[in-house]
A and B are shown apart, each in its own frame.
Chain A
Amino acid sequence: MSAAVEWTAEGGLLSEFLNQLQAADISLKRVRPHGDCLVGIVSAVDYRRVRPAARRTGTRVRIRRKRGMAFRLYRLRKRIGLVIGAVGAIALLLFFSTRIWAIVPSGLEQAETERALAVVADMGVAIGHPIHTLKPKEISIRALSQLNSVIALTINMDGCIAHVDMVADNTNHPLSQDITLSDLVATRDGLIVQTEIWQGTRLVKVGEGVTAGTLLASGATETTAGPLLGRAEGVVIARTERTLSVEVPLKQQHWQATGAPFTQTTLSLFSLPIPLSAQVALPSAYTQTVDRDFLTLDGLPLPLGICRRQITPLLPITVLYKPAEAEKMAAEQLAQQEQEELGEAVIEDKTISGKLVDGVYRVTAHYVCLENIAREVPVTVVKP
């Protein structure tokens, strides 16, 4: 913003003119002869004091050129639009710099990331949300309590960018690694056929029957110096009896797509949705697919893009199944349920029975299987 004036001095005592300026404590720059004149540069503030020195030495001083932003702005002082534009730009900049405009997640897979972002969005980590109201540590703790598959979550603000760094729980161990005291208890009733306790003291024997909740192994180990508390780890295989049942009604209600799907396009500008297509009233039931196409800068999503929602109207229809069809569907559902619940067990015997009762086909399967019934539970020691 420093302004300077390039001057030309001619006539009179030029050397004395320079000395007078020096005596007036005026700094000169680039003083050079130019024909019979002297040319130099002085700051705009000091230029007013140049003229008295020029008068005393009989020198004529003229402005050759004005330099600096101050002179340029002075020329534009009557253009109110520019002033308003500049003030508006600064105001917008200040306003936008106080809000979140990009969220960069890391550490999880796509589906889990979307779920985690939805959770933190409810707590304030969302596009357009003011930054000063955010409490990242508090949000991290609250979000972790809702996300079972995440063991660490931190929110770091980098200007208007919120970095959500997450660590997935890749351990199959049901307990946290920092637990130091635990016991093994039975998860269900069964007859023990094999035990393999790696750590802790075994409390049951092969051939013994146990009920759910029975202590199978203790983390305490007896030593000559007294009990040594620690973790109990191991596998207890028991013969268990399981029953799974599936019901398939012969009369079912389904949703069926009716009519042509339509698309609603919106321009998202700084989290403000601006409709680009005619807004049609949404049907009472519909499915939608959302396609977001946002601008990016160096891989960073910008708060400007197009959002397309393809909406398919649905209508409820009633389907009547034949008993044979219901039986087939029940068998498929039972196989799926069996895979989910008994996937890790060895099935020794399986008895399946199915019957049609009151328009519902019910399949019941009885299993005898071998499975690990040991579950590690943490132990809290209360000091007297």
Chain B
Amino acid sequence: MAMRVKKQLEHWLDLPKGSLTGESRLEIYAGRMAVMDGRCAVLTCEEDVVRLRTAGGVLCFRGRELRLSAFSANGATVEGRLCAVEFE
């Protein structure tokens, strides 16, 4: 119920999506860096694949020389040569 009200408020006030609900947000910078804003958990951390579990599902980054340049309770940042981002 509260989530629905927050979503309505976001809509009425024309706020960015997720600013009130706290839903995960993903920003990708030119295939070199992806910033995940919101709580997530690491499922896999390898050189060619990084999988993160988010509220919206499992997010999989594929590429080369991948690494978690930042990982905290507020989100995660994946850096490297990103080839694909997909929800599993």
Contacts and interface: CB of A to CB of B under 8 A. Distances in A.
B69 A30 contact: yes
Contact of A28 (B41, B46, B71): B71
Interface in A1-43: 14-15, 18-19, 21-23, 25-33, 38, 40
Nearest to B43: A15
A302 B13 CA distance: 65
Interface string B16-51: 000000000000000000000000011111110000
Contacts of A26: 72
B55 to A, nearest CB: 15
Contact of A22 (B43, B67, B71): B71
Contacts of B67: 30-33
Contact of A27 (B43, B47, B66, B71): B71
A15 B71 contact: no
**Chain B CB within 10 Å — which of A25, A29, A33 has the most?**
A33
A105 B38 CA distance: 63
Contacts of B66: 32
* Majority SS at the chain B contact face: strand
Contacts of A15: 41-45
Contacts, number: 51
A23 to B, nearest CB: 8
Nearest to A35: B47
A19 B70 contact: no
A15 B68 CA distance: 12
B70 A22 contact: no
B2 interface: no
Nearest to B70: A29
A18 B70 contact: no
Contacts of A31: 45, 67-69, 71
B1 interface: no
B73 interface: yes
Contacts of B72: 22, 25-28
A27 B77 CA distance: 12
A333 B64 CA distance: 101
Contacts of B41: 15, 19, 22
A33 B71 contact: no
A38 B70 CA distance: 14
Given A15-B42, A15-B44, A28 B68 contact: yes
A28 B47 contact: no
A32 B73 contact: no
B45 A33 contact: yes
A19 B69 contact: no
A33 B42 CA distance: 13
Nearest to B67: A32
B44 A28 contact: no
Contacts of A25: 72-73
Contacts of B70: 27-29
Contacts of B43: 15
Nearest to A31: B68
A262 B30 CA distance: 79
Nearest to A17: B42
Contacts of A33: 45-47, 67
A27 B70 CA distance: 7
A38 to B, nearest CB: 6
Nearest to B72: A27
A14 B42 CA distance: 9
Nearest to B47: A33
B73 A14 contact: no
Contacts of A19: 41-42
Nearest to B74: A27
A15 B44 CA distance: 6
Contacts of A23: 73
19 contacts: A15-B44, A15-B45, A19-B41, A23-B73, A25-B72, A25-B73, A27-B70, A27-B71, A28-B68, A28-B71, A28-B72, A29-B69, A31-B68, A31-B69, A31-B71, A32-B45, A32-B66, A33-B67, A40-B68
Interface of B: 41-47, 66-73
Given A18-B68, A19-B41, 8 more contacts: A15-B42, A15-B44, A19-B42, A25-B72, A28-B70, A28-B72, A31-B68, A31-B71
Query: 4 closest A-B pairs (Cβ-Cβ)?
Result: A32-B67, A31-B68, A27-B72, A28-B71
